[in-house]
Structure 1
Amino acid sequence: MLKKYLIVSKKILPDVYEKVIEARNLINNGNVKGISEAVKKVGISRSTYYKYKDYVFSPSENSIGRKAVISMMLRHEKGVLSNVLNYMSSENANILTINQSIPINGKASVNVSLDISDISKSIDDIITEMKSIKGVSSVKLLSIE
């Protein structure tokens, strides 16, 4: 299902990956004021954090591959978001949340969280196909668990 991803024991990886996750958790939980404070607290550089922050995730127990968060940039045209949501539904992805920004310069940022436990294709294939929907400028997997 997730051809581009591996599940690897953190025992064999450099501790920097775990520190990136720890820094992201500090930021997300509001325990620090910003990235600089978070990376200082866990002992990594800002550049290390930025290098790995979009590629290292910590799965929850018993829920690997069940939820995903996707970020998209959509043209501000009638029906674009509806077409994207209909496509996701047709692939058996259950939409949990939608967060859309106000359109600026004719485009809006949309983040969608999904339950992907029943999808019939890989999440990578779904993202690739979403990029071909008219009005979709970009699609990116932000996180998966």
Structure 2
Amino acid sequence: MHKIIIVIVFIMGLVACGSPQKKHVEQKTVESTGLANQNGKLVYKRHCLACHQANAGGIPKMYPPLAKNKVISGEKEQLIGIVLNGMSGEIEVNGETYNGVMAGYRNLSDKDIADVLNYLRAGFGNTGDIITEDEVKMLR
């Protein structure tokens, strides 16, 4: 009888708190919006942080800020293209001129590129629609 009560209490706890599988689905939905994008943050740390810094503020006269950057918040295709193909030449970001080279990151997976761009678009003063793996794949 004691074991039956324990099983009933356990089942009631699962029903009241939600199943672990349901919580995983909710977390995945939040990640897909870029709001809690841990993979995007990790990709940023591995590939972007050295030049663009932890706060996405860049390094004056050397590497442009990604924070409050109209390109990050702008058209998906342009942004994806920059990550895939890199860029060079003079650009102006937030009133400052930069003239450097950024390597392309075709070596990253479509998911990693989408995640890092969503991570940037969800923070650092940026906004923008979600970028999907399929959108990256189409432009690759």
State TM-score, norm by structure 1. Answer: 0.28
Choose 1 or 2 for highest CA Rg: 2
Pick 1 or 2: higher relative contact order, CA cutoff 8 A, min separation 6.
Answer: 1
State TM-score, norm by structure 2. Answer: 0.29
More helix by share: 2
